[in-house]
């Protein structure tokens, strides 16, 4: 048997709360846990569970008879001999389900949310189309300098046969026969506690009170059709990995005159063979021959557009950083460019011929350095030449 729930605690009210206190607490919580107020799927899941609990608590405590039963027996019906189940089982956000719900949730929440509640998912009024998210792969340079690209998407577009109405051209829009045009239906259930009625949004007309006599054949009454589209986009210079380009109004078509959704093109930027990017600055390592490090002079460094000459001073040591202004990434929607920073590493020659080796040794000796040569064969070789 499930543990008895503390409905007072769930609503955050005291045991002697008045009907008004309950209603206030309920509104506050219902607003907080409303599915439309959640931003992530995980939040939605949590909120849904919490919402069920809140509704269950309110449906019991707002009814004097049930509240009295609850105060005596707790939330577990078996104990009280009511034959299983807890009060007011709730069938998800689409509407109430089960007995014990003599509440018109839409009446209660309508004032809070400024519209229908349980019908919010399939609203009868104008609805904004869904946003579409897509990924665009860019080369490093394409992101740096901007590029024209084409993306392929599939979206819902307004059906041109029925102009979005969902009705076959020439057919009539008639009053819903299920709800008689009220948009709501009352469901009465007989339980051992008596009859209870639930008011819910009419599923046939989604609360609009009107239905299409003959649905449009092309879109089956939906008012939209799926279409594949190629869309050209101007990728702005300076965009970085993970940033999105919004294309307003290019998403799914709105319903019943609602605005279209948007497209968000999220860019994924590839790596560069020389450069690493941080914001608008780029970083590289440049190998410089030993003699050039010592003597100084012009070296070639890579740039985004190719290469350029750069003069390093005499006696540059390995690991020295140099910064070149305006050779980085162009600033997104702005002026100027970031910095190119490069670190020089000495390019130590791997293979020397005899002559070079001899020169180097003489060079070292000119400083009074002792020349240690590890490899025996080379040592012998050198020795033989100097003897
Ligand atoms: Zn149509
Ligand atoms: Zn209806």
Give, for 174, the enclosing helix (H) or strand (E). Answer: strand 173-175
- Which tokens hold the place of 302? 């890579």
pLDDT, average across residues 112-135: 63
123 Cα to the center of ligand 2, angstroms:
13
Cβ < 5 A residues, ion ligand 2: 176, 178-179, 202, 204-205
Q: Ligand 1 mean position to 208 CA, how many Å?
A: 18
Contact 113, 120 (CB under 8 A): yes
**167 alpha carbon to ligand 1 midpoint, in Å?**
6
Same fold, 7-122 and 132-161+224-269: no
DSSP assignment of 270-338, as one string? PP-SS-EEETTEEEEEEEEEHHHHHH-EEEEEEETTEEEEEEEPTTPPTT-EEEETT-SPBPTTSSSB-
CA–centroid distance, 212 to ligand 1, in Å, is 11
pTM comes to 0.56
The predicted pLDDT at position 222 comes to 87
How far is the centre of ligand 1, averaged over its atoms, from the C-alpha of 218 (Å)? Answer: 5
CATH superfamily assigned to domain 276-347: Urease metallochaperone UreE, N-terminal domain (2.60.260.20)
Minimum-distance ligand to the CA of 166? 1
pLDDT of 65 strictly over 90? no
The yes-or-no verdict on residue 143 having pLDDT over 90 is yes
Q: What is the pLDDT of residue 275?
A: 97
pLDDT range class, residue 370, cuts 50, 70, 90? low
Q: Burial level of 347, CB count in 10 A (0-12/13-18/19+)?
A: middle
Query: Which of 66-70, 138-142, 170-174, 355-359 is predicted with the least confidence, judged by mean pLDDT?
Result: 66-70
By three-state DSSP, how is residue 47 classified? helix
Q: How far is the CA of 211 from the centre of ligand 2 (A)?
A: 7
Q: How far apart are the first and last CA of the chain?
A: 102
pLDDT of residue 115: 34
As a whole-number percent, the residues of the chain with pLDDT over 90 amount to 45
The segment with the largest mean pLDDT, out of 6-15, 197-206, 371-380, is 6-15
pLDDT given for residue 2 in this prediction: 53
Taking each helix axis as running N to C, give the angle between helix 354-366 and helix 376-386, from 0 to 180 degrees, rounded to the nearest 10. Answer: 80
Task: Specify whether domain 132-161+224-269 bears CATH 2.60.260.20.
Answer: yes
Separation of alpha carbons 227 and 253, rounded Å: 11
Retrieve residue 253's tokens: 């078509």
Question: Using 50, 70 and 90 to split pLDDT, how confident is the model at 92?
Answer: very low
Tell me the CATH architecture of domain 7-122: Orthogonal Bundle (1.10)
pLDDT tops 70 at residue 94 = no
Q: Give the residue extent of every domain in the chain.
A: 7-122, 132-161+224-269, 276-347, 354-386
Give the SS3 label for residue 100. Answer: coil
Q: Both tokens of residue 348? A: 């130590």
At which residue do the structure tokens 């089960």 appear?
Answer: 98
The per-residue pLDDT for range 190-226, each reduced to its tens digit, is: 777 677 778 888 988 888 888 888 989 999 988 899 9
Instruction: At 215, give phi and psi (nearest 5°).
Output: -65, 150
CA of 183 to the centre of ligand 2 (A): 5
3-state DSSP helix/strand/coil % of the chain, to nearest 5: 25, 30, 45
Give pLDDT tens digits for 278-312.
Answer: 999 999 999 999 999 999 999 999 999 999 999 99
- What is the rounded distance in angstroms from the CA atom of residue 187 to the CA atom of residue 99? 9
Strand partners, 89: none
Distance 168 CA to ligand 2 centre (A): 19
Q: Has residue 256 got a pLDDT over 60?
A: yes
Q: Check: CB of residue 314 under 8 Å from CB of residue 303.
A: no
Cα-based angle 348, 351, 354 (whole degrees, multiple of 5): 120
State both tokens at 194: 């008596």
Q: For residue 55, how many other CB atoms are within 10 A of its CB? A: 24
Instruction: Answer yes or no: are the C-beta atoms of 106 and 195 closer than 8 Å.
Output: no
- CB neighbourhood size of 46 (10 A): 13
Would you say 219 and 157 are in contact if contact means Cβ atoms under 8 Å apart? no
């Amino acid at each position: 048997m499930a543990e008895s729930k503390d409905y007072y605690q769930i609503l955050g009210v005291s045991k002697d709360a008045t009907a008004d206190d309950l209603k206030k607490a309920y509104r506050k919580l219902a607003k907080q846990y409303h599915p439309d107020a959640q931003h992530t799927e995980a939040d939605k899941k949590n909120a849904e569970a919490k919402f069920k609990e809140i509704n269950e608590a309110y449906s019991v405590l707002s009814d004097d008879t049930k509240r009295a039963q609850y105060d005596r027996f707790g939330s577990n019906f078996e104990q009280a001999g009511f034959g299983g189940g807890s009060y007011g089982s709730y069938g998800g956000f689409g509407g109430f389900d089960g007995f014990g719900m003599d509440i018109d949730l839409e009446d209660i929440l309508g004032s809070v949310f400024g519209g229908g509640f349980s019908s919010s998912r399939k609203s009868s009024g104008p609805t904004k189309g869904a946003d579409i998210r897509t990924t665009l792969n860019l080369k490093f340079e394409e992101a740096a300098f901007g590029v024209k690209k084409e993306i392929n998407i599939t979206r819902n577009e307004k059906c041109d046969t029925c102009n979005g109405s969902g009705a076959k051209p020439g057919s009539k829009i008639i009053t819903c026969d299920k709800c008689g045009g009220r948009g709501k239906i009352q469901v009465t259930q007989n339980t051992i506690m008596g009859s209870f009625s639930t008011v819910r949004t009419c599923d046939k007309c989604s609360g609009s009170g009107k239905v299409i006599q003959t649905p449009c054949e092309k879109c089956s009454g939906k008012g939209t059709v799926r279409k594949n589209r190629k869309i050209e986009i101007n990728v702005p210079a300076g965009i970085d990995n993970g940033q999105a380009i919004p294309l307003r109004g290019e998403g799914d078509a709105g319903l019943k005159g609602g605005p279209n959704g948007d497209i968000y093109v999220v860019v994924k930027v590839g790596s560069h063979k020389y450069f690493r990017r941080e914001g608008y600055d780029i970083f590289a390592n440049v190998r410089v021959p030993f003699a050039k490090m010592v003597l100084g002079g012009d070296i070639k460094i890579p740039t985004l557009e190719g290469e350029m000459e750069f003069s390093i001073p005499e006696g540059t040591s390995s690991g020295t950083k140099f910064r070149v202004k305006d050779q980085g990434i162009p600033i997104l929607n702005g002026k100027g460019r970031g910095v190119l920073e490069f670190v020089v590493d000495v390019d130590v020659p791997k293979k020397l011929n005899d002559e070079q080796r001899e020169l180097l040794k003489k060079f070292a000796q000119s400083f009074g350095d002792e020349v240690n040569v590890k490899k025996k064969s080379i040592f012998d070789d050198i020795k033989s030449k100097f003897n």
